[in-house]
């Protein structure tokens, strides 16, 4: 994984940046992987912004997928309380700092830090 905090970007830009590094936006396939990432974020005061993940419902509102993976988000309930709540206005998934880095739907055009992953199967 790499935690990219020096250049907040839109979701699309974050996706492209991870591809250019030879990886992809982080796909959290298990609760263990989610907890591993969240513990890193919660344990470091340097992580002050939200982080983009590969989660999105761009293709069909309400149908959450992980970009670059066949895994479904619906089987993975790590949403923050009351999330997802943005309908068609929030189609990209980040880890929301004010909700202790739970998953949140967020406007794709806003600027966030992001997490890339590498060496996935
Ligand atoms: Ca949405
Ligand atoms: Ca939201």
State the ligand closest to the CA atom of 87: 1
Q: Which residue has the tokens 């206005």?
A: 89
Ligand having the closest approach to the CA of 59: 1
Residue 120 pLDDT level (bands cut at 50, 70, 90): confident
Tally of helices (H runs) and strands (E runs) in the chain: 2, 7
Distance 86 CA to ligand 2 centre (A): 5
CA of 108 to the centre of ligand 2 (A): 11
How open is the CA angle 42-106-20, to the nearest 5 degrees?
Answer: 80
Note the pLDDT of residue 65.
94
Q: What is the CATH number of the domain that holds 57?
A: 3.10.100.10
Relative to the alpha carbon of 84, which ligand is closest? 2
Please report which ligand is nearest the Cα atom of 89: 1
User: How many domains are contained in the chain?
Assistant: 1
SS3 assignment for 65-92:
EECCCCCECCCCCCECCCCCCCHHHCCE
Ligand nearest to the CA of 95: 2
* Confidence (pLDDT) at 73: 82
Q: What is the pLDDT of residues 61-87, one digit of tens each?
A: 999 999 988 887 877 789 999 999 999
pTM: 0.95
Domain range for 44 is 2-117
Closest CA to 50 of 117, 102, 120: 102
Q: Residue 105 C-alpha to ligand 2 middle, in angstroms?
A: 4
pLDDT digits (tens, 9 = 90+) for 93-117: 999 999 999 999 999 999 999 999 9
């Amino acid at each position: 994984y790499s935690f990219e905090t020096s250049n907040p970007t839109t979701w699309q830009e974050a996706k492209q940046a991870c591809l250019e590094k030879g990886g992809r936006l982080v796909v959290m396939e298990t609760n263990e992987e989610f907890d591993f990432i969240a513990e890193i974020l919660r344990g470091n005061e340097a992580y002050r912004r939200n982080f983009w993940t590969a989660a999105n419902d761009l293709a069909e509102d309400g149908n959450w997928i992980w970009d670059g993976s066949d895994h479904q988000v619906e089987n993975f309930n790590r949403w923050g309380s009351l999330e997802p709540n943005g309908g068609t206005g929030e189609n990209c998934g980040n880890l929301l700092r004010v909700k202790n880095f739970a998953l949140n739907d967020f406007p794709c055009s806003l600027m966030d830090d992001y997490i890339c992953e590498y060496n996935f199967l």
